[in-house]
Amino acid sequence: DKANYRHFMAKEIHEQPEVVGHTLARYIDMASERVMLPVKLPFDFKDVQRISITACGTASYAGYVAKYWFERLARIPVELDVASEFRYREAPLRKGDLAIFISQSGETADTLAALRYAKAEGVHTLSVVNVPTSTIARESETVLQTLAGPEIGVASTKAFTCQLMVLASLAVAAGKARGELSDEDEIKLVHGLVEIPRLMAAALTLEPQIEKLARDISKSKDVLYLGRGTSYPLALEGALKLKEISYIHAEGYAAGELKHGPIALIDENMPVVVIAPHDRVFEKTVSNMQEVAARGGNIILMTDAKGAAEATIESLVTIVLPDMAAAFTPMVYAIPVQLLAYHTAVVMGTDVDQPRNLAKSVTVE
């Protein structure tokens, strides 16, 4: 049931404050403002020497964001792979490794094969899945469920942000267990997480502005997405979302990679979407933006009030998001990224919920 929405994707984008809130409530003890996992882990994070994260598509971008979180908050090195590569490259896994798998459906063939490989290697396996009865959930040692509810649109939206919420909570738990985070740090981070649903709701109010921008984007043949830090995987996600539902070619790049190649493509016909909350790498991204502007590129900047005040560049359209804790921006910035893809597809007149050539769940490799 699409409620009053034109497409399931629109409904699912708008459900995010609620379902991310449900997911949060499952992993956080609101009274003490501490992380409280709903299951007891069969390992101690103190003994984990390395994490390997494996997934496909959008789920792999959630994993990529989580890599930054586990490394920064818990100081655990993380390797990230797409499942189709991980399963065949005979990656050596060792005692002390934790293998994490992320999947909305829990039925993705490559992710399942990667999980079976990790089990055969004898390491701890943990999956973040949306469907608790799925094969991946059944075969994993530990299951952390996302409470996104059924996701019908082929383009993943609410499953992604719920995956991020589970992974953020897990990264805080890991940091705490390893003594990298103090009680005070934990409370501060949890505070940041508790704010997310409200901030997501605020981000949804930007829809009319994004709808207008989508009309311009729909005239382009190619779109570039740039981000740094945790905004980099979100740039990858933005590009994937746009291409899968609007069929406009898009690429996501780490902002710092611009001058290593993609800058050659910049002209007035290729919009550049820059995802840059005012965080510790903001200034670096601004200088990349100046390089784009100097070559006549049109920029759409997703930032906050502070970022908007500092980034005084011509040919810039700014989407101003609410101020928030720097650690967890991808959950909130996902909203304008998803809305831009959605409204562009609507302008293009594509089949938003059932894009050509795509299946919701890829159960064959």
Catalytic residues: 360
Residue 301's CB is within 10 A of a number of other CB atoms, namely 22
Half-sphere exposure of 45 (CA within 13 A, CB side): 20
Q: Is 104 in the site for ligand M6R (CB under 6 A)?
A: yes
Counting contacts by CB under 6 A, is residue 84 touching ligand M6R? no
The position carrying tokens 């894009």 is 355
- Residue with smaller CB distance to ligand M6R, 283 or 365: 365
Q: Is 58 in the site for ligand M6R (CB under 6 A)?
A: yes
* Residue 12 identity (one-letter amino acid): E
Segment 243 to 282, residues that bind ligand M6R, using CB under 6 A = 244
* Minimum distance, C-beta of residue 131 to ligand M6R, in the bound complex (Å): 8
CB 253, CB 268: distance < 8 Å: no
Residue 289's closest CA among 268, 306, 264, 314?
314
How far apart are alpha carbons 92 and 115 in whole angstroms? 14
Q: Using the rule CB under 6 A, is 56 a contact of ligand M6R?
A: yes
| Residue 113: CB minimum distance to ligand M6R, A | 12
Q: Can you tell me the distance from the alpha carbon of 1 to that of 110, in angstroms, rounded to the nearest whole number? A: 30
Given candidates 52, 84, 103, 140, which one binds ligand M6R under the rule CB under 6 A? 103
Span interacting with ligand M6R, options 149-157, 183-191, 246-254, 265-273, rule CB under 6 A = 149-157
230 binds ligand M6R (CB under 6 A): no
What are the φ/ψ torsions at residue 37 (nearest 5 degrees)?
-70, 145
Pick 119 or 188: Cβ nearer ligand M6R: 119
Q: Are 127 and 115 in contact (CB under 8 A)?
A: yes
Alpha-carbon distances of 221 from 186, 215, 250, rounded to whole Å: 45, 13, 8
Q: Name the CA dihedral angle for 270, 271, 276, 278, rounded to a multiple of 10 degrees.
A: 120
Nearer to ligand M6R, 57 or 197 (CB): 57
DSSP result, 224-293: EEEE-TTHHHHHHHHHHHHHHHH--EEEEEEGGGGGGTGGGG-STTS-EEEE--SSTTHHHHHHHHHHHH
Is the CB of 137 or the CB of 299 nearer to ligand M6R? 137
Contact between 362 and ligand M6R per CB under 6 A: yes
54 or 285, CB closer to ligand M6R?
54
Q: Which amino acid is at 256?
A: G
Min CB(126)–ligand M6R separation in Å: 15
Q: Of the ranges 97-105, 114-122, 198-206, 222-230, which one interacts with ligand M6R (CB under 6 A)?
A: 97-105
**Cβ distance to ligand M6R smaller for residue 186 or 237:** 237
CB 240 within 8 A of CB 345: no
Q: How many residues lie near ligand M6R (CB under 6 A)?
A: 16
Tell me if 199 contacts ligand M6R by CB under 6 A.
no
Positions touching ligand M6R (CB under 6 A) are 56-59, 103-105, 108, 111, 154-156, 244, 358, 361-362
